Amino acid sequence: MYKFIDLFSGLGGFRIALERKGMECVFASDIDERVNLAYKKNFGDMPSGDITEISEKKIPKHDILCAGFPCQSFSISGKMKGLNDNRGRLFYEIIRIVQYHQPYVLLLENVKNILTVDNGQVIKTIEVKLDEIGYRLYKHVLNSSYFGIPQSRERVYFVGLRKDTGISSSPPRETRKEIYLEDVLDKEVDDSLFINRTDITIERENVEHALKPIRLGIVNKGGQGERIYSIKGHATTLSAYGGGVGARTGLYLVDKRVRKLSISECKKIMGFPVTFYVSEGLRGYQQLGNAVIPAMIAKAV
């Protein structure tokens, strides 16, 4: 049985994907105490804390290293400080652990912008550092919309393979499964999710199904978090933060009314079981917005 570790583990999207393939998680780590409590409720064991304070010698031997390392320093919505940001420098913690344990495979996930931030110097540095310790890096830019997930979430999935394994990695084939946001909506949601304002503008309603977000109108001036989409398309990218009345989930026209998505709907468009535990309220949305989609990790393996 292959063994893996789950760094910056968050809600455990990597773990779900690899356990479904019959693999065993032998170590997890995250600095967020609230998300660690959620992780324990779902998997039965508590992740270790700050990885910068954990010796690589105390981490169990493993075949695969998984890490959805923090993306804020590479994100367009952040300040894009790259590896100069403390969060960006957490990549070097991965290097430290990989250099000691030499796993066969590295599975990493991050925002697409990591490929271009700092004029491409960040990704070049990552490739050079991994090459120096014996790994060849493959980069697959994938959008979950084309793999049976009704959410447009474009991410880069890195597969690092130890050179002496002699194997390579190819991007998975898109399924283009016809599934839409309307297929996963809850039958009933709390009234607090509905937007009751006088500055809502619906520009169109009759649209065809599509594997992408379909914009129908706006709230206020249509800024970030103020765009309204059709349930005949896909959800916009869930985010941990962001502004506007539709922050984190986006806004959708459902039965002639505009609303945000519920926590259970967010779980479904991230590919998590509805019974999967997340923190209450805003923290739950943040945890899901920071998560990786298990089905996408399974495709990238």
Q: Catalytic site residues?
A: 71
Task: List, edge to edge, every strand of the sheet that includes 24-29.
Answer: 24-29, 3-7, 64-67, 105-111, 154-162, 135-143
Provide the residue count of the chain. 301
E-strand ranges in the chain read 3-7, 24-29, 64-67, 105-111, 135-143, 154-162, 200-202, 215-219, 227-230, 251-254, 257-259
Q: Is residue 122 a contact partner of residue 74, using CB atoms and an 8 Å limit?
A: yes
Q: Is residue 233 a contact partner of residue 207, using CB atoms and an 8 Å limit?
A: yes
- Rounded to 5°, angle at Cα 144 from 12 and 300: 60
